[in-house]
Amino acid sequence: MGCGMIARYAHLPCIKNTCGLELAAIYDPNPEHLRAAQEQFHVPQAFTDEAAFFASGLDAVVVTSPAPFHLHNVREAARHGLHVLCEKPLAMNDADIQQMIDLMADAKLMLFTGFCYRFSPVSMQIREMVRQGVIGEVRSQRLIYIWNLHGRYETTWTGERIESPRRVGRMLEGGPMVDCGVHQIDLARWWTGSEVVRQQAAGAWVENYEAPDHMYLHLDHESGAHTMVEMSFSYSHTASEPINHFSYHIIGTDGVIRYDRDGWHFEVRTPHGTTFYPGHDEKNFGGMYYAFAEALETGFTGDMPTGYDGLVATRIARQATESVIANRLLSPV
Ligand SMILES: NC(=O)c1ccc[n+]([C@@H]2O[C@H](COP(=O)([O-])OP(=O)(O)OC[C@H]3O[C@@H](n4cnc5c(N)ncnc54)[C@H](O)[C@@H]3O)[C@@H](O)[C@H]2O)c1
């Protein structure tokens, strides 16, 4: 449900390429988007009519519509007895996400959140190393993603320079912590296996949206570990040659794990020496679909992020963003 950018870039090809899954039908209220996706992926059935889509013989639904429509689409899937994998952020507020979780649980169906970062070989390996105590006990994590969200401006086909509509949409939906930071918050919980018991955030405004476009989030875990997440959508966003920075640092009592996405540099330093591992992209939709297919077949969640994981990460991100907005200094001191 939803044949836009992320569906065409990641979900549709992965559904087609995953053993055990069959791309039966697609739905999008926009006929142009629908047709383009149908042609690109040779989908047998394509609908702009929701009822016809749900009557087309489905076992599960993937929701890749914009976030404000996720609740409606999940409600309809639950009503039709279909398991769901839903893109992040699950919904626009906690109450809506809780409603999604309850609807799916009442219908005895599985609801998963599309936290595809979990399935990067880098992330899977970090989780395994943390579990095995390779760096001792985790005390501190730094997860940083500062980038330009594809730039502030776009040029239309008539040559007009406009504010990027995609950027405007993401900023109005909550900004970088809600849109991207939820992945990092999920990783912080998943790697440590420890819930967040306290949080504090700060932010900065490079542009003038309600939400800050550059944010710092500090999380204290039950285990005593601390996580810092830094997210930005305005880092070099007007530069002719923009640059990104994406990294993980996991600091333990007996070593560190370091990952720099942009140089694909992944290493572990312990008293036994330094080991270099192959780097990978931070996302892995293919791995997520492999786990999704397995969950559908077995009924066991496995490593798939649940609706609850989606709720916790989104709640933390939204509360952080709201607290920063509430504490904004309206005029510099
Ligand atoms: N996991 C990731 O790394 C990642 C990356 C990008 C986007 N996303 C998420 O994926 C979702 C979609 O993002 P996008 O960038 O593809 O957006 P998009 O705007 O490119 O595409 C959304 C599509 O949904 C369609 N749509 C509109 N209303 C709909 C409805 N009621 N039901 C079904 N479809 C509807 C639109 O016509 C459009 O084709 C968002 O929740 C976004 O946060 C996730």
pLDDT of residue 234: 97
CA-to-CA separations, 94 to 91, 110, 220, 265, 308, in angstroms, rounded: 7, 18, 21, 37, 11
Q: How far is CA 191 from the centre of its chain?
A: 16
CA dihedral (122, 128, 134, 139) positive or negative:
positive
**Percentage, residues of the chain above pLDDT 90:** 96
- Closest CA to ligand 1's atom 19: 4
pTM of the model: 0.95
In this prediction, residue 263 has a pLDDT band, given cuts at 50, 70 and 90, of: confident
Measured in Å, residue 35 CA sits from the centre of ligand 1 at 16
- Closest CA to ligand 1's atom 4: 6
pLDDT digits (tens, 9 = 90+) for 124-134: 999 999 999 99
* Type and span of the H or E element at 89: none
pLDDT for residue 333 is more than 80:
no
Measured in Å, residue 27 CA sits from the centre of ligand 1 at 12
Which ligand 1 atom is nearest residue 173's CA?
43
Strand pairing report for 138-146 and 245-252: antiparallel
Question: Which tokens belong to 16?
Answer: 């087609």
pLDDT for residue 332 is more than 90:
no
In this prediction, residue 331 has a pLDDT band, given cuts at 50, 70 and 90, of: confident
Q: Report the C-alpha gap between 131 and 194 in whole angstroms.
A: 12
What residues does ligand 1 touch, defined as CB less than 6 Å away? 1-7, 27-30, 33, 64-67, 69, 73, 87-88, 114, 116, 179, 283
State mean pLDDT over 258-278: 96
- Closest CA to ligand 1's atom 39: 4
Q: Report the C-alpha gap between 22 and 58 in whole angstroms.
A: 10
State mean pLDDT over 219-225: 98
Q: Report the C-alpha gap between 238 and 259 in whole angstroms.
A: 27
pLDDT of residue 138: 98
Which ligand 1 atom is nearest residue 170's CA?
43
What is the CATH code of the structural domain delimited by 117-282+305-326? Answer: 3.30.360.10
Measured in Å, residue 2 CA sits from the centre of ligand 1 at 6
Per-domain residue ranges for the chain? 5-113, 117-282+305-326
- Residue of 1, 3, 5 with the most ligand 1 atoms within 8 Å of its CB, for mutation: 5
State mean pLDDT over 188-214: 97
In this prediction, residue 253 has a pLDDT band, given cuts at 50, 70 and 90, of: very high
pLDDT of residue 69: 96
Write out the CATH class of domain 5-113.
alpha beta
